[in-house]
Amino acid sequence: MNITMNAMTHRSVLLLAAAVLAGTTGAVATADVPARPEQIHFAPLSFEPPSAAEYRHVLPSGVVVYLAPSTEFPLVNIAMTFKGGRDLDPADQVGLADATGAMIRRGGTKNMSAEDLDETFDFLAANVSTNCGPVTSSAVLNSLKSNLDESLPLFFEMLRTPGFDAAKLGLWQSEQLERMKQRNDDAGPILSREWDALLYGRDHFEAAQSTQKSIESIDQASLQRMHDRIFHPGNVIVAVTGDFDEKDMLDRLEQAFAGWERGDQVSDPAAPTATFTPGVYHVEKDIPQGKVNIGLRGITRDDPDYYAMTILNDILGGGGFTSRITKRVRSDEGLAYSAGSANSAGVYYPGEFRASFQSKNRTVALATKIIMEEIERIRTEPVSDEELATSVNSMIETFPRTFESKAGMLNVFVSDEWTNRPADYWQKYRDRLRAVTKDDILRVAQKHLDPNAMAIFVVGKWSEIAPGDLEGRASMAEFFGGSVTDLPLRDPMTMEPIPTGGG
């Protein structure tokens, strides 16, 4: 009985103490909380971007390596970035780079079958991938720290002496041909490839399309030639994150690269030579909604107008629900689920500015008219102080995300080194955003966003799109004097125009 009473008394004391503490804390907290949300003030965000030089090393063989060790997990991630990709495809073998990237991983090695390679990586719990993109290629190993002694040499064997198994190549080719058959099923891929052809020309790698003939022409010899051109120590930058000792990792990598012939670094990709011609373009497809791009060739990443154009795009259509195009086309008019814009600055040559949306056939013209009105308005009226502040503050406050993970940070450093960005670029980035004024935005809008220099590209049922909405607010005849260039749908296997009336 005494034990029970003592326990009850002790519990009561604890409850009383907790209540007093809660009351005191609540009183202090209430006193510190402003009466209204707009009265809340936050301390300025303090963040300094890391310096690439702190993570950069050069092996005795000359290979650049970025290291960012951590002990959070017993894993090691090695990402190798090589210069060159689809930009190196021969004109008659479009798809060769894609095949090379896939087959280095899938095709075994000179001394190990594809099946044995897969089983060994699986046994080691190592995730391995290789890929060839537009202008860079990659090879990635993610391994348990305890298995690195076995997985790293096998990873390098795969990269140095790929087997390009004929049966695996045949399977890859069959997969590509099956995917080709679906090229015209949806409006999106049609619009994407025809828009790229309009911007860059069909003979440029940005717009080049593989065909049945080009895929079937790929053989082991052509894969080997592409491999030898891209995958070698003279054309790579390595980034390593995870649980490792820096000196030990540098020694491991130097040993792995030993004896691998250092070839020439791949040159920068060629700029397109095609002339961009403004106007209205159309590809016929019997669908209930038209898919539309509106835009023109843009600027380069190093253009002095880049920062002003970045903020302009955010205000115009790139900032989600706060942007003008999204608010008018989606929120105010309900014409499209998704509508916005993008300013994609090129590195080696000008990129593009593009507004995009998808809308019911009868409201395509109205949505297009609204977007053109917003483009004209940003060219003739200064943006508001609130719009400018919202956009700049958003970019500055989200800036630390660029470096929020070690792998992401090193990826930035590798990309910057390949594209020769100034060493102090990220240190000055926010100040350059802050320096943008309303006059700057008006100036670059007038310079770079001339509606008469743009193309309007529509994929959809023209007989329903052309007349416009039932209320008569807009029709396609309002743009470029009603002139339209009808482009043919292309055969999915040959990319040759399908004759009128064809399937």
Domain holding 467: CATH number? 3.30.830.10
Same domain, 235 and 369: no
Same domain, 434 and 319: yes
> Among 454, 457, 448, 455, which residue's Cα sits nearest to residue 299?
448
pLDDT at res. 417? 98
Same domain, 251 and 299: no
Same domain, 96 and 66: yes
Same domain, 56 and 117: yes
pLDDT at res. 35? 85
**Residue 446 structure tokens:** 């007038």
3-state secondary structure of 162: strand
pLDDT in tens, 66-111: 999 999 999 999 999 999 999 999 999 999 999 999 999 999 999 9
480 pLDDT higher than 70:
yes
Confidence of residue 11 (pLDDT cuts 50, 70, 90): very low
Domain carrying residue 473: 279-487
- Number of helices (H) and strands (E) in the chain: give both, helices first: 17, 12
For residues 361 and 367, what is the distance between their CA atoms, to the nearest angstrom? 10
Instruction: Note whether residue 36 is domain-resident.
Output: no
Q: How confident is the model over 417-424, as a mean pLDDT?
A: 97
Confidence of residue 37 (pLDDT cuts 50, 70, 90): confident
Strand order in the sheet with 485-487: 339-344, 352-360, 289-297, 455-460, 279-284, 485-487
29 pLDDT higher than 90:
no
pLDDT at res. 14? 43
Same domain, 314 and 433: yes
Same domain, 405 and 474: yes
Instruction: Note whether residue 324 is domain-resident.
Output: yes
Burial class (CB in 10 A: 0-12, 13-18, 19+), 417: middle
Q: Of 223, 257, 291, which residue sits at a domain end?
A: 257
Instruction: Note whether residue 64 is domain-resident.
Output: yes
pLDDT in tens, 421-449: 999 999 999 999 999 999 999 999 999 99
pTM: 0.90
Phi (first) and psi of residue 53, to 5 degrees? -60, -25
Instruction: Note whether residue 340 is domain-resident.
Output: yes
Same domain, 464 and 355: yes
Instruction: Note whether residue 271 is domain-resident.
Output: no
3-state secondary structure of 69: strand
Number of domains in the chain: 2
Instruction: Note whether residue 24 is domain-resident.
Output: no
CB-based contact 270:242 (threshold 8 Å): no
Confidence of residue 13 (pLDDT cuts 50, 70, 90): very low
**Mean residue pLDDT across the chain:** 93
Confidence of residue 355 (pLDDT cuts 50, 70, 90): very high
31 pLDDT higher than 60:
no
Instruction: Note whether residue 2 is domain-resident.
Output: no
Same domain, 111 and 229: yes
Confidence of residue 48 (pLDDT cuts 50, 70, 90): very high
Instruction: Note whether residue 212 is domain-resident.
Output: yes
CB-based contact 90:264 (threshold 8 Å): no
Same domain, 105 and 170: yes
Same domain, 206 and 330: no
